[in-house]
């Protein structure tokens, strides 16, 4: 399907319904040493509450591996924060950051949910559809899905389910650390989400490409607002 960024909440809800019902291209499978990317966005400090449309934002994208390419862009928030509507606020900025990379990753990690969403079409899924890239969401906790934590050993995983459907998994990326929620996104399922999260974490709790993108976005914000 051809996806784009909606202009208002009503259009977003229609887009999310369409994404949830879409039959995307054949599912992506975890192959030999895929190039993993990650992206992150942050906004200016001092805007209280849910933020505001038009406030400054900085988005970064990074490719996995030592010395992997990075990109940082500046823009504005498309809307205040609202649960389930991150695409309005963050989508275009994240698309611009990933698009600025010199090479497209094979799979992209997004700090957002996918099918664990009131309409089954979270930002991780939406961004992948817009970019035409397989995506996996990685968050600290689920949005609506539920499931027991896995065993306390790196690589352990347990299902996250919503309305009887497996939409992701808890995954222990590091022994003795809180597990992460890995979300099925565009052209990926829960099993692939676990594989990608483990491969990208490289012994840390959070995936390397996401850590780098988060740091770059925050450094860009600090430099822009210094003084």
pLDDT digits (tens, 9 = 90+) for 158-172: 999 999 999 999 999
For domain 34-225, give the CATH number: 3.30.2170.10
Coil vs helix vs strand at 3 = coil
* Rounded CA separation 111/118 (Å): 17
Query: Whole-prediction pTM value?
Result: 0.94
pLDDT digits (tens, 9 = 90+) for 144-197: 999 999 999 999 999 999 999 999 999 999 999 999 999 999 999 999 999 999
Contact 88, 6 (CB under 8 A): yes
The strands making up 157-162's β-sheet, listed across from edge to edge, are: 70-76, 56-63, 36-43, 107-110, 135-139, 180-184, 165-171, 157-162
Domain ranges of the chain: 34-225
């Amino acid at each position: 399907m051809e996806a784009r960024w909606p202009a208002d909440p009503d259009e977003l809800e229609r887009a999310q319904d369409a994404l949830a019902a879409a039959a995307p291209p054949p599912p992506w499978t975890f192959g030999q040493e895929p190039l993993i990317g990650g992206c992150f966005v942050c906004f200016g400090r001092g805007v209280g509450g849910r933020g505001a449309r038009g406030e400054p934002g900085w988005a970064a994208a990074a490719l996995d591996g030592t010395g992997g390419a990075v990109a940082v862009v500046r823009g504005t928030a498309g809307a205040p924060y609202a649960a389930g509507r991150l695409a309005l606020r963050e989508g275009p900025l994240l698309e611009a950051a990933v698009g600025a990379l010199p090479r497209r990753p094979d799979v992209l990690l997004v700090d957002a949910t996918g099918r664990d969403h009131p309409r089954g079409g979270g930002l991780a899924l939406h961004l992948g559809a817009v970019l035409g890239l397989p995506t996996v969401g990685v968050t600290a906790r689920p949005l609506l899905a539920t499931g027991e934590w896995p065993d306390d050993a790196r690589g352990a995983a347990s299902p996250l389910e919503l309305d009887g459907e497996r939409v992701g998994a808890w995954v222990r990326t590091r022994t003795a650390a809180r597990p992460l929620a890995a979300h099925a996104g565009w052209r990926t399922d829960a099993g692939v989400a676990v594989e990608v999260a483990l491969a990208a974490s490289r012994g840390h709790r959070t995936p390397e490409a996401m850590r780098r993108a988060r740091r770059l976005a925050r450094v860009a914000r600090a430099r822009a607002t210094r003084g």
